[in-house]
């Protein structure tokens, strides 16, 4: 997956843990594999499937002693059910967790704008999960979605967070103007540049929700 998103998730796990000393932190095993085939290309263009590499990574984490697995990539969740069938330990589903959080924390929100890769948008993962919570997903126009992809692939993945952030902020503001009552960071690269307080509506960050859920799960298992 994206190495910067992986590093960001680990930092979020550290900051989400209430500790007084190093020993209070949960054990974390990180397997950063940037060679996994691009998930969006696989979904949209019948490119190489990332599933074999995801299975290999999951099994390595199992062998290393992981009690559960988290994946800092929204688009990879398209393959999560197939991946889960090949593993013994559970995978925490970032998208479903975030839908539950949205329903709990923002009960009045009925329209949420989604900033995500083409693969995630086409997969309908957010529409499905948030639909259960009674929230309609608003997606950018085709022209603006092209800008989202440019921000993710040409800028942020290449280390240019400033220009990527400027593009995404513009698209997010358009969604708000069109009626979005909340913006979802539906790509872990989006999570790197869009923060709570940047807009006039709440920003829901599934990566942060995943980090907090992982800490709670890990500490619960340690205390069993």
C-alpha dist (Å) from residue 147 to 34, 107, 197: 24, 30, 22
Catalytic annotation, pick one of 36, 57, 73, 209: 73
Catalytic annotation, pick one of 171, 187, 201, 214: 187
φ/ψ of residue 16, rounded to 5? -85, -5
State yes or no: is 73 an active-site residue: yes
8 Å CB contact between 142 and 198 = no
State yes or no: is 187 an active-site residue: yes
Q: What is the 3-state secondary structure (H, E, C) of 67-135?
A: CCECCCCCHHHHHHHHHHHCCCCCECCHHHHHHHHHHHHCCCCCEEEEECCHHHHHHCHHHHHHHHCCC
Q: Is 185 left (phi over 0), alpha (psi -120 to 50) or beta?
A: beta
φ/ψ of residue 186, rounded to 5? -85, 20
Q: Please list the active-site residues.
A: 73, 187
């Amino acid at each position: 997956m994206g190495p910067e998103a992986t590093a960001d998730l680990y930092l979020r796990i550290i900051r989400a843990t209430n500790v007084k000393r190093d020993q209070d932190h949960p054990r974390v095993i990180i397997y950063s594999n940037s060679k996994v085939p691009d998930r969006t290309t696989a979904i949209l263009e019948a490119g190489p499937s990332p599933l074999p590499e995801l299975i290999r990574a999951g099994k390595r984490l199992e062998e290393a002693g992981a009690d559960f697995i988290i994946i800092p990539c929204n688009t990879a969740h398209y393959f999560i059910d197939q991946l889960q069938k090949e593993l013994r330990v559970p995978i925490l589903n970032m998208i479903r967790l975030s839908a539950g959080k949205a329903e709990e924390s923002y009960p009045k929100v009925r329209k949420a704008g989604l900033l995500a890769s083409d693969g995630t948008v086409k997969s309908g993962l957010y529409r499905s999960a948030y639909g259960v919570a009674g929230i309609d997903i608003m997606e950018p126009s085709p022209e603006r979605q092209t800008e989202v992809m440019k921000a993710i692939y040409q800028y942020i993945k290449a280390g240019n967070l400033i220009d990527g952030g400027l593009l995404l902020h513009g698209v997010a503001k358009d969604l708000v103007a069109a009626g979005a009552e909340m913006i979802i960071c539906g790509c872990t690269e989006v999570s790197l540049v869009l923060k709570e307080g940047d807009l006039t509506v709440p920003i829901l960050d599934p990566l942060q929700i995943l980090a907090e859920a992982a800490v709670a799960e890990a500490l619960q298992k340690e205390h069993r």
